[in-house]
Structure 1
Amino acid sequence: MNSKICGFLVILLIISVIPTVDAQISFGEKASQKSVEIVINSFGDVHVKHVVNPANLPKQIELIYGTASNITVTDEEGEEKQFSVIGDNTGLLIFPSQNRSIVEYDLEHAITQIDNVWTWSFRYLETTSFILPEEADLIFANERPVYLDEKKGITCHGCQMILEYSLDEPKIYQNIKWEDKEFLVEIRTYTKINDFTFDQPTKSITFDVSEKNRFVTTIIPLELLWGPYAVFLDDEKIYFHEYINNGTHVWLNIRPETTGEVTIIGTTVVPEFSILAPLAIGFLVIVIAPLIRKVNLH
């Protein structure tokens, strides 16, 4: 009888000290995490790795939202450690350890693919690193483009974002000839591009997009068309991202909400660049040369 009363009192004590946050059960203080890494492969499979700092008391770690499976907890030497699952695989209780704990699991149904775009509505308020598939060199975080180039991924601090990317996105090349020069404009998109036109007098590039809500990235040689830029869909000015100006090319990204004609307007256009050089030479001959002659005479 006494043991039953004692057990009841222990349970009552535990319940009285358990705080509730967002209807989630908590059995200990929040764990301090050294790092969180997410690896995504070409098929949309997700593997998560948490590195948890040592602690003298049991600590709770929240798992990233999704269907977690194949959960393991080891130390830095790879030795398995005891842990308890909280709720429906929403968190873990990690027992005290003098070494860092490595928590790993697969996350199912986290990413969905719609119209060739992989999408993840992600929220995890810890600094998180994403390792993307090698084929994904251009990704979007809350619709802001990020060009990975040779980098493997990105790091998100206090992360809440819509992650979107495509694999092997089609590239369309348009060769523009102007006088004795040729310029290559590249367009990256899954939508069809029709009626591409470069108009030198209006300093503009135009083309038709046949699908709505598709990312369209246009890579323009700066010698052909220099900014600042304005972008229109039919006659309406639309929002765009300008990024990756490497001195020779600029990347402009849009996501038209409807189909129609896209017009990119610049402020300086070929051959205005070539005109500047003769003007500069003329200025030197007419203005600077007489001054130099006077200085030499004195």
Structure 2
Amino acid sequence: MKKIFIGFFAFSLLFFSPEVFGQESFQEVKQKSVTITVDNEGNVKVVHELRNSEDASQLTFVDGTVSNVKFMKFGIEESVPEAEGKESIVLLPNQGNLFVTYDLKDVLFEKNGVWTWDFFYPESTAFIFPEEVDLLFANERPIFLDDKKGIACHGCQMLLEYSINESRIYQNVKWEEKEFTVEVRNQNGVDKFVFDQPSKSITFDTIGENRFVTTIIPLELLWEPYTVFLNDEEIPSRQHINNGTHVWLIINPDTSGQVNIFGTTVVPEFSMMIPLIIGFFVILTLPFMKKFNLR
């Protein structure tokens, strides 16, 4: 494999002619951080912050098609065209702390509105996503970003999935004097939303196959755990997020059809249960209070 020796001296880069070094190998350079930024069109930018090494060392790029490689030091940026299309570069010793940046292609793929990246890199890696992304999946586990910009992945191997510009449908459910908002996200939207209090269920029609459908349910309206049916057949739901007031329930239907979400407790049963729950805890703590008073 051809290896490029690269050195950063004073304010310029010196490139040593590419040579074939047979089976000679170099120790992987120690990295301070790896940051991957993704924009809303699927473009990927990688930044490696490297520690100084007293020996010649190797930087392995993130797997993909590497282009627009640059070195940064002392606030100076210089292109490294010889490194483009390579899997790694060899750095001369005593280069100090360096930043290596490059664009990465052929890694993110979009299908049916879902971006997917089968990612592996042995170093801890931070991912920064577009503002439009607030929910993603890592190895099929949902991660809610909320006001965060991204995630950190330690010794990272994951199947990354996320959507941008999903349709968001807000349904207001009124019960007696209370009003609840249920949000449903899907690339193609949903239709015929119904909340049915007697059956403790939420029902809607979804359009499109193999597309994420996320339903954000107020817990006071419909309590977990949930059972989900598609066209009267039970289907699995993704692990859901619970922030204390709402649950993010995620499914990935393999066809269009009617979705039924059944809960265990429904308004006003939930509000009626609160005094019972409080009373239960009072009964449990009463013996301990008496014991404390006797002392």
TM-score, normalising length: structure 2: 0.79
CA distance in 2, matches of 1:281, 1:66: 57
What is the CA deviation profile of residues 152-192 of structure 1, one whole-angstrom value per residue up to 9, with x for unaligned ones?
10111121222222222211011222233222111011133
Deviation at 1:242, TM superposition (A): 4.3
Judging changes above 3 Å, is the alpha-carbon distance between structure 1 residues 128 and 148 closer, same or farther for their aligned structure 2 residues? same
2:252 — aligned with what?
Answer: 255
1:110 — aligned with what?
Answer: 107
CA distance in 2, matches of 1:134, 1:191: 20
Deviation at 1:147, TM superposition (A): 1.2
Greater strand fraction, Structure 1 or Structure 2: 2
Judging changes above 3 Å, is the alpha-carbon distance between structure 1 residues 239 and 85 closer, same or farther for their aligned structure 2 residues? farther
CA distance in 2, matches of 1:80, 1:196: 55
2:206 — aligned with what?
Answer: 209
Of 264, 272, 277, 2:269 maps to 272
Are 1:227 and 2:200 counterparts? no
2:31 — aligned with what?
Answer: 33
Judging changes above 3 Å, is the alpha-carbon distance between structure 1 residues 96 and 212 closer, same or farther for their aligned structure 2 residues? same
Could you say what secondary structure the match of 1:164 adopts? strand
Are 1:140 and 2:137 counterparts? yes
CA distance in 1, matches of 2:49, 2:213: 38
CA distance in 1, matches of 2:81, 2:54: 16
Within 5 A, what are the aligned runs for 1:177-196? Answer: 177-196=174-193
Could you say what secondary structure the match of 2:248 adopts? strand
Q: Which amino acid aligns with 2:256?
A: T
Deviation at 1:270, TM superposition (A): 1.0
What is the CA deviation profile of residues 191-225 of structure 1, one whole-angstrom value per residue up to 9, with x for unaligned ones?
33122221212111111212111111101111110
Are 1:130 and 2:127 counterparts? yes
CA distance in 2, matches of 1:79, 1:125: 28
Judging changes above 3 Å, is the alpha-carbon distance between structure 1 residues 32 and 202 closer, same or farther for their aligned structure 2 residues? same
What is the CA deviation profile of residues 204-260 of structure 1, one whole-angstrom value per residue up to 9, with x for unaligned ones?
111121211111110111111011212122233222134332222111111112222
Could you say what secondary structure the match of 1:244 adopts? strand
Are 1:58 and 2:22 counterparts? no
Deviation at 1:48, TM superposition (A): 0.6
CA distance in 1, matches of 2:26, 2:77: 21
TM-score, normalising length: structure 1: 0.79
Are 1:243 and 2:247 counterparts? no
Gaps of 5+ in 2: 1-18, 281-295
1:3 — aligned with what?
Answer: none
Aligned 8 A contact 1:83 1:93 in 2: no
Q: Which moved more, 1:45-54 or 1:190-199?
A: 190-199
Greater helix fraction, Structure 1 or Structure 2: 1
Q: Which moved more, 1:28-37 or 1:116-125?
A: 116-125
What is the CA deviation profile of residues 68-123 of structure 1, one whole-angstrom value per residue up to 9, with x for unaligned ones?
11112233x23568989579411111111252221111112332222222222222
CA distance in 2, matches of 1:281, 1:165: 40
Could you say what secondary structure the match of 2:242 adopts? coil
Identity over the aligned pairs, expressed in percent? 52
Could you say what secondary structure the match of 1:191 adopts? coil
CA distance in 2, matches of 1:66, 1:267: 47
Gaps of 5+ in 1: 1-10, 19-26, 284-298
Deviation at 1:273, TM superposition (A): 2.5
CA distance in 2, matches of 1:41, 1:69: 17
Structure number, greater radius of gyration: 1
Of 46, 70, 73, 2:71 maps to 73
CA distance in 1, matches of 2:277, 2:29: 65
CA distance in 2, matches of 1:172, 1:246: 20
CA distance in 2, matches of 1:217, 1:195: 16
Aligned 8 A contact 2:135 2:144 in 1: yes
1:198 — aligned with what?
Answer: 195
Aligned 8 A contact 1:226 1:266 in 2: yes
CA distance in 2, matches of 1:49, 1:86: 15
